[in-house]
Amino acid sequence: MRAIHVPPPVHDARRAVAAWLFACAAMVFAMVLIGGITRLTESGLSIVEWQPLIGAIPPLNEADWQALFRKYQSSPQFKQVNRAMSLGEFKTIFWWEYLHRLWGRLIGVVFLAPFLWFLFRRTIRGALAWRLGFIFVLGAAQGAMGWYMVQSGLVDRPEVSQYRLTAHFGLALLLYALLLWTALDLRGATGWRAAAGLRRGASALLVLVAITMLAGGFVAGLDAGLIYNTFPLMEGRVAPPDYLATAPWWRDVFENRATVQFHHRVLALSSFFAVAIFVWRVLRASPPVFVRRASVALAHIAVLQVGLGIATLLLVVPVPLAALHQAGAMALFTAALWLRFALRG
């Protein structure tokens, strides 16, 4: 992403815009975690309608709860998985999905209202205004993709499509990256004019981390973490016995749980060693203090994230640990983006 050059408003105004974007990025970070917990608790199919405005109002009385429960009882998830679910149990999964959707609406309000105000005051204009407009459209597309994802679990099978889930997650990751990079740019964060090789390496590392996270989306969508709960081998082998066992191979890559888990393992370990090698390269170049700190932070988070991933697998995906693993992935992506920004010059 190239830096944005705008007619310089007063310094305090630029800082205000940056603070607003940092807050929006933090909300997207939290949104990813809430979405992960919603998926882990299998709560995402508890609300079977998409009502962008009316849906913000929660159930207010027993009649409302009964009406929502009856709608859920018509869904494939209830009929095939949760036939014995009580109204009290339904309320638990409902609140997670409700919180997920409400938080998404809140992000929209927190972004749009200041955006219009800053436009009116001409605090933002030109390239920055267009970029922020694109971010708003991307956020709206993210909400639409969320409902498109949920729809896939309301027809025949009581599970959302792993393709749509990963696309939903990928849009959130792109939205987060744009918000964070733009905020850092406006904040005037210091940069080091590193060698072109280091800048390219930082970009490649950021892409690798993102691909590893998207592979994790397929793991989540297929519940692939519930099989082969050993490490480092899978049933005593490097690759599982049913790796690429079905045809065509390109569907196996995205639909075979064993293959999906194996690829996520390979990508995760590749990311870990890539971080270690790249941080070593950066530190050898005698960078300034702020680059050194960003590099060391990235290395520490990578170690923590690998540990969380292995523990989550060995313990068969307990919800609290799996949520921490997802938080670790977002933290790793944040650190990788921060380091790439610090090397921009």
Break the chain into its structural domains and give their ranges. Answer: 8-189, 191-345
Total Cβ atoms within 10 A of residue 191:
17
Asked if 192 contacts 140 with a C-beta cutoff of 8 angstroms, the reply is no
Question: Mean pLDDT for each 10-residue chunk of the chain (345 residues)?
Answer: 51 89 98 96 94 88 96 96 95 97 97 96 93 97 95 92 97 98 87 87 97 97 96 94 90 96 98 98 93 96 98 97 97 97 87
Asked if 124 contacts 8 with a C-beta cutoff of 8 angstroms, the reply is no
Asked if 259 contacts 244 with a C-beta cutoff of 8 angstroms, the reply is yes
φ/ψ of residue 334, rounded to 5: -60, -45
CB half-sphere exposure, 156, CA atoms < 13 A: 1
Contacts of 2 (CB under 8 A, 6+ apart): none
Asked if 19 contacts 118 with a C-beta cutoff of 8 angstroms, the reply is no
For 120-134, how does the pLDDT look when each residue is reduced to its tens digit (9 = 90+)? 999 999 999 999 999
Asked if 258 contacts 235 with a C-beta cutoff of 8 angstroms, the reply is no
Give the Cα separation of 140 and 101 in Å (integer): 12
**Structure-block tokens of residue 252:** 């196996």
Please report the pLDDT score of residue 188 as a whole number: 76
- Using CA atoms of 224, 229, 234, 239 in order, give the dihedral in degrees to the nearest 10: 20
Please report the pLDDT score of residue 12 as a whole number: 79
